[in-house]
Structure 1
Amino acid sequence: MENYFKSWMAHPISKIFMATNFIFAVLFIVSVPSFVKEHITQDAVSIGGKKYDISDVKESSPIAYSKFQSEYKSLLKNTFGEFAQDKLFELVAKDKNLKPSEVLTQGLVVKEPSEEEIINVYMANKAQLGGKSLSETRDKIVGFLKNQQEQEFSRNRYKEIITKYPVDFLIKEPDIVRVTVAENNNPSIGPKDAKITIIEFSDFECPFCKRSQEVNRQLREKYKGQIRWVFRDFPLPFHQDAMYAHMAANCSIEEGKYWDVFNVLFENTGNLSKGNVDALVLNTGISKSKYQNCMKNQTKLKAEIEVDIQDGQKVGVSGTPAFFINGIFVSGALPFENFDEIIQKELKQ
C-alpha cells in the first residue's frame, strides 16, 4: 500500500486547522502500531521464538504455497458464488414479485413419466436394484424422473437469470509458482518440443488416478501435438499390489508396449494381484520370456521406481495423482476445466 503526502508547511494555517491536524497526528501515532500489530504480524507461525510468514513458505516449500494459493482462490470463488446466487434470487424475486425460494420453480409443471421412460430407467439400473421387480421400484423410478424434470427446469431458469444479470468473479489470479521437475527419461507421449509438458506422478492401484485417466486422454486429444505427457511412477506404500504393477509396466518399455500395459493396468485398478498383472501384461502381446527375464531383476526395477518416488517427494508430491504443467503443480483427479484453464494460459505466453 502506497502513501501520498503533500507539503503544507509553507501555507498559513488557522489555529483550528492546526489543532485538528495535531489531533489527527496523535491518533495516527497511537493507531498505526496497533494496526501494524493486527494486520502485518498476523498469519504467521513462531518456531523457537522466530516468526515465519507465508513468504517463508513460498521460498522454502513452493508446492505448499501453491496449494494454499489454489485452495484460497477456490474458497473465495465458492463464497462469492453463494453470495451472488442469493443476490440474484433477491433481484429476480423483487422484479417478478416472488419469494426468493420461488425464483427457480416459477412456472414449473412436472409431467407424469411415460411407461417407456420408466422401463428404460429400470432396465438400465436393474443390476443395482438387488433383484427387485419393476412394480417394487416403480415409485422410486417415477420420483427420480420427476426430480430430473425439476433439475432441468431449474438449470434452464438459472441460465436465463445469469444472462440478464451477468456474474463475473473479479478475483485476483494467484502468483504462478513453477517447480523444476526432471523427466528422467521416463515414458512419454507427444513431441519433445511441445510447448506444454505435463509430468504425472501416479499409482496404478489408486482409484483417483484411474478416474483421472479419462480427463488425461481428453487433454491429449484436444491438444495433440502441443502437449508432451510424461509418466513417473509413484506407487503408494499402503497399496500392496502397486509396486509389482509398476515394475511390470516398466518391463514392457523395451518391447514398445508400455502404453498398452499402462491402459490395461488402470482398467484393472481394483484387481492387480501378481498373477493377474502377469496375465494382463502378457495379453498385450509382449514376449513372455523377455518379460519374465526382466521381472527377475526386481532389485533394479524397484531402484528405478524409488528414484521417481524420491524425485516426486523432493518437489512436494505426497499423494496421487499429482501433475506438473510446465512446472505448475496440480493436485488430484480434478475436472477437465481445471487443467484446460492452465494449459490455455500457458499456450498464450
Structure 2
Amino acid sequence: MKPQTFIPFVLICITAASAFSQGQTGEVLVTGKGIRITAGDLMPRTKAVYDSVASSIAAARSQILSAYLAEQLLDTEAKARGISVEALEREALAKVPDPSAEVIQQVYDANRAALGNKPLAEIRQLIVDYLRREPEQTALQEQIDSLQKKYSVTLLKNVNAADIRPTDAIAKFGERQITY
C-alpha cells in the first residue's frame, strides 16, 4: 500500500472503530470528497477489527471491574486483619506446594533441547516457577472467591449496559456501593 493511501486508510480505521465503540454501527463511518464509507465497505480484515471493537471494550470493562473489586476486597480484608495486602496474598501462595522432584525431572527431560541443554541444577528454579504459576493463580482466585462470599459481593448492574451512568451503582459489598 502506498504511503499516500495508507494514512487515510489508518484514519478511516480509527474513525470506524471510534464510531462503532459509540454505538453508531448503522451509520456512515467516514465521509470525504463525496465518498461515504460504511462498515459494509470495509475490507474483510478491517471489518473484522471493526466488528471486534465492541466485544473487546466490553471484555476490558468486565476485567477492570473484576480487578477493582478484587483489589478492594483484599484491601478490606487486610485492614480488618491488621496486615498488608502483600501478606494476605503470601498466605494464599503459601498453600501451593512445590512440584515433586519427579515432575520437575519430567518437565526438564521433555524440554531439555528447548532449555539449551543446561544442567537441571541451573534451571531448576525456572521450572519450579513455571509449574507453580497456574496453581498460584488458582489459589489467588480462590482467595478472592472466598472474600466475595465473606463480604457478600453483589453485582447490581451490568458494567456493559448501554444505559449505564456514572452515578449508577454497579456492585456492592458489605455496605459499600461501587459506582460506575
TM-score normalised to the size of structure 1?
0.29
SS of match in other structure, 1:105: helix
CA shift digits 1:31-64 (9 cap, x unpaired): xxxxxxxxxxxxxx8xxxxxx9957653234577
CA shift digits 1:184-210 (9 cap, x unpaired): xxxxxxxxxxxxxxxxxxxxxxxxxxx
Higher relative contact order, structure no. (Cα contacts within 8 Å, ≥ 6 residues apart)? 1
User: Is 2:89 the partner of 1:104?
Assistant: yes
Asked if 2 retains the 8 angstrom alpha-carbon contact of 1:118 and 1:141, the reply is: yes
Distance in 2 (CA, whole Å) between partners of 1:57 and 1:123 is: 53
User: Is 2:74 the partner of 1:89?
Assistant: yes
Distance in 2 (CA, whole Å) between partners of 1:151 and 1:172 is: 26
User: Is 2:139 the partner of 1:171?
Assistant: no
Residue 119 (structure 1) shift: 0.8
Distance in 2 (CA, whole Å) between partners of 1:99 and 1:81 is: 20
- Is the helix fraction higher in 1 or 2? 2
Determine the structure 1 residue equivalent to 2:125.
139
Determine the structure 1 residue equivalent to 2:146.
160
Write the mapping of 1:310-325 to structure 2, written as runs, cut at 5 A: none
SS of match in other structure, 2:159: coil
Write the mapping of 1:1-349 to structure 2, written as runs, cut at 5 A: 58-60=26-28, 61=38, 67-106=52-91, 108-109=94-95, 111-164=97-150, 165-168=152-155, 170-173=158-161
Residue 110 (structure 1) shift: 5.6
Structure 1 gaps, min length 5 = 1-44, 46-51, 176-349
- Structure-2 change in CA distance of 1:130 and 1:75 (3 Å): same
Cα-Cα RMSD: 3.7
Quick one: which amino acid aligns to residue 100 of structure 2? Answer: S
Quick one: which amino acid aligns to residue 118 of structure 1? Answer: I
Bigger radius of gyration:
1
Identity, % of aligned positions: 23
Structure 2 gaps, min length 5 = 1-14, 29-37, 41-46, 164-180
Distance in 2 (CA, whole Å) between partners of 1:120 and 1:89 is: 36
TM-score normalised to the size of structure 2?
0.50
Quick one: which amino acid aligns to residue 91 of structure 2? Answer: Q
Asked if 1 retains the 8 angstrom alpha-carbon contact of 2:89 and 2:140, the reply is: yes
SS of match in other structure, 1:131: coil
Distance in 2 (CA, whole Å) between partners of 1:74 and 1:149 is: 24
Distance in 2 (CA, whole Å) between partners of 1:104 and 1:114 is: 23
